[in-house]
Amino acid sequence: MTDARRVLVLNGPNLRRLGVREPDVYGAATFADLEELCRDTARRLDLHAEVRQTDDEAELVRWIHEAADERIPVVLNPAAFTHYSYALHDAIAQRTAPLVEVHITNPATREEFRHTSVVASVATGTIAGFGFTSYVLALQAIAAELAA
């Protein structure tokens, strides 16, 4: 597989706590389960997914810069940074390949502060509310964008 089929699956704060954090909201599956799903899905789509998670805004911005510099598509769950990180917005605005914003839950059905995404306007698209399937759909969208 060529490096041209590489996709970064980037995850923001608290997502490594999946399975422990609010299972009534996020379910019982773990971050390790999510990593496996993303890698398996990517493989089926002839992609190579690198799954990463950080609680550090600066590190997430650096990863977005890496993707822009290397023209790597991104599946991004910015988590809480979705609602206030203008640094992340500005980094994503520099993207050179498709970037799909994903959310496990549907932010529009949750607390009011979650209703606004400051990154959606610079993403290729947004997929939300389908649990881990949101990531599957995002990887399918990336594959379709690369094929177009």
The one catalytic residue in 26, 86, 89, 115 is 26
Asked about 103 being catalytic, the answer comes back as yes
Residues 6+ apart with CB under 8 A from 76: 10, 11, 12, 64, 92, 99, 100, 101, 102, 119, 123
Tokens 């980094």 locate to 91
Rounded to whole angstroms, how far apart are CA atoms 110 and 103?
A: 12
Is residue 65 a contact partner of residue 91, using CB atoms and an 8 Å limit? yes
Structure tokens at 142: 């990336």
Q: Is 40 annotated as a binding residue?
A: no
Which residues have C-beta within 8 Å of that of residue 45, sequence separation ≥ 6? Answer: 139, 140, 142, 143
Q: What's CA 104's distance to the chain center, in Å?
A: 10
Does 105 appear as a known binding residue?
yes
Architecture of domain 3-147: 3-Layer(aba) Sandwich (3.40)
Active site residue 48: no
Domain layout of the chain by residue ranges? 3-147
Identify residue 118 by its one-letter amino acid code.
V
Which one of 89, 103, 115, 135 is the catalytic residue?
Answer: 103
pTM, entire model:
0.91
In tens digits, the chain (148 residues) has pLDDT values of 447 699 999 999 999 988 887 777 777 789 999 999 999 999 999 999 999 999 999 999 999 999 999 999 999 999 999 998 999 999 999 999 999 999 998 877 777 867 688 999 999 999 999 999 999 999 999 999 999 8
104 in a labelled binding site: yes
